[in-house]
Amino acid sequence: MKTATPLTALSFILITSLAYAGTITGTVMYDGEAPARPAMQTTKDQHCIDSLKNGKSEALVVSKGKGIKNVVVYLRARGAKPTMPAKNPVMDQVNCMYSPHVLVVTAGTTVDLTSSDPVAHNVHSHATKNEAVNWQIPGPGKVFPLTLAKREAIKFTCDIHTWMTGYIFVTDNDYYAVTGYKDKDGKWIGSDAYEGSSDTGTYMIKDIPTGKYRVQAWHEELGTTKAQAIEVADGEIEISFTSADFRKKGAK
């Protein structure tokens, strides 16, 4: 029976660690009629004009089921340490758009900025807390690593193609989720596919140690919701948002 002891001890640890973790789940839905997505105004480079002939803005994408894409729901958790990804996440430029449009990483992560396009782009970061780079990417396949140390929602533009915008949201802990982000196989969900879907803006944050937090949601166009104090206990709690809960920066 000697060999049984370590196994018993291990299962005890597993059970206790699971027993003290909670889940937050909910939806982020648009109130009323969502505005139509404006067409992309491409002005230069035949490659961009051709690939974005039917391209529409990704700034606010609402599904048939009223779900809002690219809302980051995150916890403010004092003392929580973020986990570093095993591989550098990639922010690509594909057919003269940032891909993905919104990328979420934990603070301290190095993001590989790159391009898949045959035309030159430049990655222009509007960061205020992190390094604000402005790098020319002359052609496909070149990789420019950028380490992001501080919590911030960073806007990226391209000075060559004025319609190009993308965001990297840097969070300081692992407790976040993004609506309409990736499918079950881990592939990015495209904006057009999301718009045609019946998704209701569902999200889920799992494995949250029990305790007190504040929960908040961010969207590039709608703004940020008020930080809401919550207590995570063993089990699942539901916190849902609508577009009416968001306020733009500086607005009252």
For Cu ion, give the closer residue by CB, 66 or 161. 161
User: How far is Cα 56 from Cα 41, in angstroms, rounded to an integer?
Assistant: 9
Q: Check if the beta carbon of residue 101 is closer than 8 Å to that of residue 95.
A: no
User: How far is Cα 37 from Cα 198, in angstroms, rounded to an integer?
Assistant: 17
User: How far is Cα 202 from Cα 188, in angstroms, rounded to an integer?
Assistant: 15
Q: H helices of 213-252, where?
A: none
For Cu ion, give the closer residue by CB, 73 or 158. 158
**By rule CB under 5 A, what string of x and - marks binding of each residue 63-102 to Cu ion?**
----------------------------------------
Closest approach, Cβ 164 to Cu ion, in A, equals 5
- Binding to Cu ion, residues 131-190 (CB under 5 A): 158, 160-161, 164
133 DSSP assignment: -
For Cu ion, give the closer residue by CB, 29 or 119. 119
For Cu ion, give the closer residue by CB, 73 or 164. 164
# of chain residues touching Cu ion (CB under 5 A): 5
Q: Which stretch binds Cu ion (CB under 5 A): 34-42, 119-127, 133-141, 244-252?
A: 119-127
* Sign of the CA dihedral with 18 first, then 214, 220, and 223 last: positive
Length of the chain: 252
Q: Does 121 bind Cu ion (CB under 5 A)?
A: yes
* Sign of the CA dihedral with 51 first, then 56, 61, and 63 last: negative
For Cu ion, give the closer residue by CB, 160 or 230. 160
Applying CB under 5 A, the residues found at the interface with Cu ion are 121, 158, 160-161, 164
